[in-house]
Amino acid sequence: MKAKKNVSKAKLRRGFTLVEMLVVIAMIGALAGISFPVYRSIQKKVKKQKLVMMFNSIERAVVNFETEYNYLPYVGNSYPSTEPSYTANNTDELMTVLVGGHSAANPANFKGITFLEGQLPEGDSAANYKDGLLVNGLGAAQTAVLYTPWGGTYDNFIMDYNNDGYSWQPYASSFGVTTKMQAPVIFFDIGSDDVWVTDYDFCSCRQCDATCLTGRNAGYVNLWK
């Protein structure tokens, strides 16, 4: 009887064999391999939704600005006399106008009205901020920076300054091609790789294809469809 008890206890104390552990590790690896693409797909959908919400908010801010002032928001000290093909590296100044900042050098929102409020960017410093709107200062001294989901700030925007419903087409094979605008403002950006003409480039015009025409601005990823 005593021998049987000892055998039973030995069986209970027996751990996993090497083969069993390898099988478990293989199963965990297989599950991870299956779940990672699903996780990346979910991440992409969440990022897309954030972008859509952000640009919907900016578009509403631009429309409300125009309703209040009877002109579109602009950067610099005067309204554009002609409609430029695009405005380069001034997206932060546009965001400053929309949050209520103004000065003699940038008087567009001289009433200091807040048209845009956004979520704070992720990250703990300017070096790693991404995906949000950072507002600094108070009142007329406010400044704002719009960070992309991949880090950095947006490079360029197009505004329908002559109010004809058409503007330069950012994804065209050559400059000067116009298109009907779906919104009064279009943002486009070099994307996460800091190189033009790749599938990482971004355009909010809602008309871009994933594979675009050849040329400087080819390759925009359309996150709107």
Q: What is the mean pLDDT of each run of 10 residues along the chain (225 residues)?
A: 54 64 76 68 72 84 95 93 82 94 93 90 83 89 88 84 81 64 82 65 64 41 42
Question: Does residue 68 sit in helix, strand or coil?
Answer: helix
Torsion of CA 113, 116, 122, 127, to 10 degrees: -60
Report the C-alpha gap between 225 and 222 in whole angstroms: 6
pLDDT number for residue 65 = 96
One-letter amino acid at 157 equals F
Residue from 187, 178, 186, 181 nearest 165 by CA: 181
pLDDT number for residue 155 = 78
pLDDT number for residue 45 = 72
Domain ranges of the chain: 45-203
pLDDT number for residue 17 = 76
pTM: 0.73
pLDDT number for residue 210 = 38
Residue from 99, 27, 19, 92 nearest 65 by CA: 99
